[in-house]
A and B are shown apart, each in its own frame.
Chain A
Amino acid sequence: QSALTQPRSVSGSPGQSVTISCTGTSGDIGAYNFVSWFQQHPDKAPKLIVSDVTRRPSGVPDRFSGSKSGNTASLTISGLQADDEADYYCCSYGGNSNVLFGGGTKLTVL
């Protein structure tokens, strides 16, 4: 199975909104609502920010929101802040007990 497809980079100014896409297939993102997003700062472990397509864990600001349409999931970050600058990874159950990650998207806050 191939990894999920994410843009390599996105950017935005403080206060703006950005959306990161994650494209899979009808056998993974399109088939299941087990889609998550992770934030990773340099030299840190990833952190869960969205699970089950739209669910935010306790402590994650509501500036982070997830959605899904067909075979594509999206993460929207509104009211960009300097600390949002990080790498973001999508993840989906891929069927047959397998898991897929996206290649990662580097968010730059201008």
Chain B
Amino acid sequence: QAQLVQSGAEVKKPGASVRVSCKSFGFTFTEYYIHWTQQAPGQGLEWMGWINLYSGYTNYAQKFQGRVTMTRDASINTAYLEVNGLRSDDSVVYYCVRGGRDVRQTSFDPWGQGTLVTVSS
């Protein structure tokens, strides 16, 4: 059964960077896309971008361009999200989710359990 397991909660100071990991189990890693979303407390889901797990190609939502980097290490079936220049409004839950084999597919499943990042001085 396909599963994504994310790294644990983080507390960071404003201006710092954070890297969240997303380890996959139960499917062929390089056949899919991983998408990242964020969710602020009490708010909706916001799509951040995707990474092609075979090629490493990425595409970021315009809002996040220049501030986030998505990478992967196929040798350990793990994808990463790095967010730089953290601000207080980056205190959110980050989710990784498996996309399809086609970048257009939005059949996002499974989801990681979420990683809470708190930005506080």
Within the complex, which residue of A32, A51, A98, A101 is in contact with B107, where a contact is CB–CB below 8 Å?
A51
Choose from B61, B109, B113 the contact partner of A98 (Cβ within 8 Å): B61
Q: Which of A51, A89, A93, A97 contacts B44 (CB 8 A)?
A: A89
Of A10-18, A40-48, A76-84, the one contacting chain B is A40-48
Query: Closest residue of chain A to B103, judged by CB?
Result: A97
The 6 closest A-B pairs by CB, nearest first: A51-B107, A104-B44, A48-B109, A45-B111, A36-B106, A93-B104
- Chain A contact residues: over half helix, strand or loop, or mixed? strand
Per a CB cutoff under 8 Å, which of B45, B47, B113 touches A104? B45
User: Number of B interface residues, CB 8 Å?
Assistant: 22
Instruction: Answer whether residue A70 sits at the interface, using C-beta atoms and an 8 A cutoff.
Output: no
Contact A99 to B35, CB < 8 A, known contacts A45-B112, A45-B114:
yes
Contact B44 A101 (CB under 8 A): yes
Query: CB distance A101 to B47 under 8 Å?
Result: yes
Please state if A46 and B95 are interface contacts (CB–CB under 8 Å): yes
Complex Cα distance, B46 from A92, in Å, reads 12
